[in-house]
Chains A and B, each alone.
Chain A
Amino acid sequence: MIPVTKSKTHALTGAQAVAHAMKQINPDVVSVFPITPQTEIMMQFSQFHADGLVETEIVRVESEHSSMSCCVGASAAGARAMTATSSAGLALMWEILGVASGLRLPIVMPIVNRALSAPINIHGDHSDAMGARDQGWLQIFSENAQEAYENTLLAVRLAEHKDVLLPVMVCQDGFITSHCVQNLNLFEDNVVKKFVGDYNPKKALLNTDDPVTYGPLQLQDYYFETQKQRADAILNSKKIYLELGKELSKVTGNNYPLFEEYKLKDADAVIVVMSSTAGNTKVVVDKLRKEGKKVGLLKPRLFRPFPYAEFGKALVGKKYVAVLDRAENYGANAPLFGEVKNALFDSVVCDENKNVPKLKSYIFGLGGRNIFESEIEDLFNLLLTGKFDETKVGYIGLRGEQK
């Protein structure tokens, strides 16, 4: 990576990377509650606070429910508010997630993805974020610490944009990303400060000369229109995401597409997978490409709003596509698989050649179970044979299962 602006390389974990982003953002209010593996972010941020490196008002709440409630109050009051969570913490917030987006409050929340109970498990999978995917929050998934850092900066601008005004989750994989030390380029404070800018909301509770009622009762006569406005705003946010991404590129030299295409153009066999596993998949793609095999990766970044048309365009015409979900969706298509299938349906209907890829859903890595490069390699080789049963969900790394 060649940063456009000066940066320094540090050895940091994904959690520390996000804490550094928060230090540079210097939010007005941060609510803090521990949960593994997110706690690493807030411990680091609390140390920055203790050392006087941020001007933030920290509220050390007694639950994640109060954490999100506090952020709602702070954001409506006119402050830039942040918190972070994982797993059960996100589940406990669920009720207030919808309040945050329904009141159009631009709260930014790093998520360190972790499995949901039961059985209890502290390790990384995507079941927490997937359980909260339809609450009107934007969701950006990060492959590594560098992406988590930069996505957090992007999220602040995105959330607060006048045509968005919605909260944003920035996801990274529990432990794999959050606790592993990686090389990280941190940009200078003043550069970041300039990019994120100031938050000046139109209507704030603390502007007591212009009183506003937040969170009124809306009945059959108005509720429907309000929901439509929120639905429109999140759809429009895709465009704003790309615009702001271009602006951030000028600072970082990196790109912020809706999804990353890795050796995808001429690929016959494609794996769609997000977050840290996309990094492993790139290594396998490189290896197989050297053997002359036409394989590629599509790595989703923006999961909400889901870019259906762009996905369809990128995948239509491919021969074989495997979608890897790190979450179950009991009784329905796995979350990412379902979206990809939807996207392809739209595209295929419009595609005269009807080039429908043979599409298969795989579940992997639940509760932090490792996925190995050899397993990804085996999967690519299987895809290339075309001899797989796409009517059944495949499980990778599960005892007693055939791919």
Chain B
Amino acid sequence: MNYKELVNKPQKFAPGHRSCAGCGFPQIVRTVLASTDDPIVASCATGCLEVTSTIYPFSSWKIPFIHNAFENSAATISGVEAAYKALKRKGKIPKNKKIKFVAFGGDGGTYDIGLQSLSGALERGHDFVYILYDNEAYMNTGVQRSSSTPFGASTTTAPAGKVHQGKEEWKKDIMQIVAAHHVPYVAQASVHNPIDLSMKAKKAFECEGPAFLVVLQPCTLGWKYHPSMTIDIAKMAVESKFWPLYEVENGKYKLNYTPSKPIPIADYLKPQGRFKHLFKPDNKGLLEEMQKKVDERWDELVKKCE
């Protein structure tokens, strides 16, 4: 799909929701939902997406939607998909009617509290797509550290201070965790590249069995940058090799984009207030450590893609 086709698709996520100016996920949701022409049923974990899009008596969802709780978006969609199979078998849903199932969750609801629920649903092989919008902290509750928060980032539960310099652990590698379930399709995408995202969402919808997408979604409040910069920041994450665009299709790794002139990690971190403290002279070592880690992980990935 090109941009023109993408924007001319029927709108399944209506405007008027209350996400922040500069929030990345409305674009992710719209792009994903536009990537199949079949009817879709969605579940969503508790979080920014759910609370901003379903404030009663309004809903942005023009498709059937269910929010259950924080940690169970995948288990909930399992039930919906099982119901679809059962009712089809019993003739209550016409044999030729195809429905796609998508579960949304943020990083807290996926990397952390919902990991077990996701793993269970992947292992059972439900035919669904899981979309993780990754803004690297518990943003809905006020920017608390998650296992997706990158090293060095200052959050409200692991803030930078006189002794500690933000998060002291590395970001969890959710792609490897999901890929280890040997599901048909696993991909990493970014909000700044809707064509790549849409291609991946389309593949995810079309494959039989579980598919998983993690999409980087910069958060203006939590990452502390001007709302106009969301797309630029996401792009810098990819250009710095911090956030490689890649996919694992039936076990085969493929890099979708290689920056011709990669930028240093410091360039990506610089415009973000959450990393401000790293630019103090004393923290130079931390920046170097980060650059080393990014390069290591990139090299590992490139090897997998060979």
Contacts and interface: CB of A to CB of B under 8 A. Distances in A.
A317 B171 CA distance: 69
Interface residues of A, number: 43
Interface stretch (A127-135, A158-166, A210-218): A210-218
A73 B64 contact: no
Given A55-B86, A208-B64, A222-B56, A29 B69 contact: no
Contacts of B72: 65-66, 69, 96
Given A79-B86, A211-B65, A216 B59 contact: yes
Interface stretch (B87-95, B187-195, B209-217, B231-239): B87-95
A362 to B, nearest CB: 38
B199 interface: no
A75 B67 CA distance: 13
B91 to A, nearest CB: 10
Contacts of A59: 78-79, 82, 124
B119 interface: yes
B86 A213 contact: no
Contact of B86 (A57, A69, A208): A57
Given A96-B68, A206-B99, A216-B54, A57 B75 contact: no
Given A205-B66, A206-B41, A28 B54 contact: no
Contacts of A69: 68-69, 72, 75-76, 78-79, 117
A208 B99 CA distance: 8
B55 interface: yes
Nearest to B76: A73
A81 interface: yes
A75 B54 contact: no
A73 B77 contact: yes
From B43, B66, B116, residue with most partner A Cβ within 10 Å: B66
Contact of B79 (A31, A212, A219): A31
B80 interface: yes
B86 A28 contact: yes
Interface string B91-129: 011000001000000000000000011011001100000
Contact of A72 (B68, B93, B99): B68
Contact of B65 (A56, A95, A206, A213): A213
Given A28-B86, A66-B120, A71 B67 contact: no
A288 interface: no
Contact of B75 (A66, A206, A219): A66
Contact of B119 (A62, A74, A96): A62
Contact of A77 (B51, B61, B84, B117): B84
A57 B54 contact: no
Nearest to A211: B64
A78 B67 CA distance: 15
B55 A66 contact: no
A205 B116 contact: no
A213 B77 CA distance: 14
Interface string A214-238: 1111110010000000000000000
A60 interface: yes
A192 to B, nearest CB: 17
B215 to A, nearest CB: 22
A63 interface: yes
B39 interface: yes
B1 interface: no
Contact of A79 (B41, B43, B56, B82): B82
A66 B63 CA distance: 24
A329 to B, nearest CB: 27
A65 B16 CA distance: 33
B83 interface: yes
A65 B75 contact: yes
Interface in B154-175: none
* Chain B CB within 10 Å, residue with most, of A61, A73, A219, A222: A73
Nearest to B40: A208
B85 interface: yes
Contacts of B75: 61, 65-66, 69-70, 73
Contacts of B83: 28-29, 57, 73-75, 77-79, 81, 205-206
A343 interface: no
B65 A214 contact: yes
Interface string A67-94: 0011111111111010000000000000
B39 to A, nearest CB: 4
A66 B78 contact: yes
A75 to B, nearest CB: 7
Contact of A205 (B41, B50, B90): B41
Contact of A60 (B43, B71, B124): B124
B79 A222 contact: no
A60 B55 CA distance: 33
Contact of B82 (A74, A99, A215): A74
Given A59-B82, A73-B78, A215 B54 contact: yes
Contacts of B59: 213, 216
B80 A77 contact: yes
Contacts of B84: 77, 206
Interface of A: 28-29, 31, 55-57, 59-63, 65-66, 69-79, 81, 95-96, 99, 204-208, 211-219, 222
Interface of B: 39-41, 43, 50-51, 54-57, 59, 61-69, 71-72, 75-87, 89-90, 92-93, 99, 116-117, 119-120, 123-124
Given A55-B90, A75-B79, 20 more contacts: A29-B83, A55-B86, A57-B83, A59-B78, A62-B116, A62-B120, A63-B116, A66-B120, A69-B69, A72-B79, A73-B77, A74-B82, A76-B66, A77-B41, A79-B83, A79-B86, A95-B69, A205-B66, A206-B93, A217-B56
5 contacts: A57-B85, A69-B78, A76-B66, A205-B64, A215-B54
The 3 tightest CB contacts between A and B, nearest first, are A73-B79, A62-B120, A79-B83
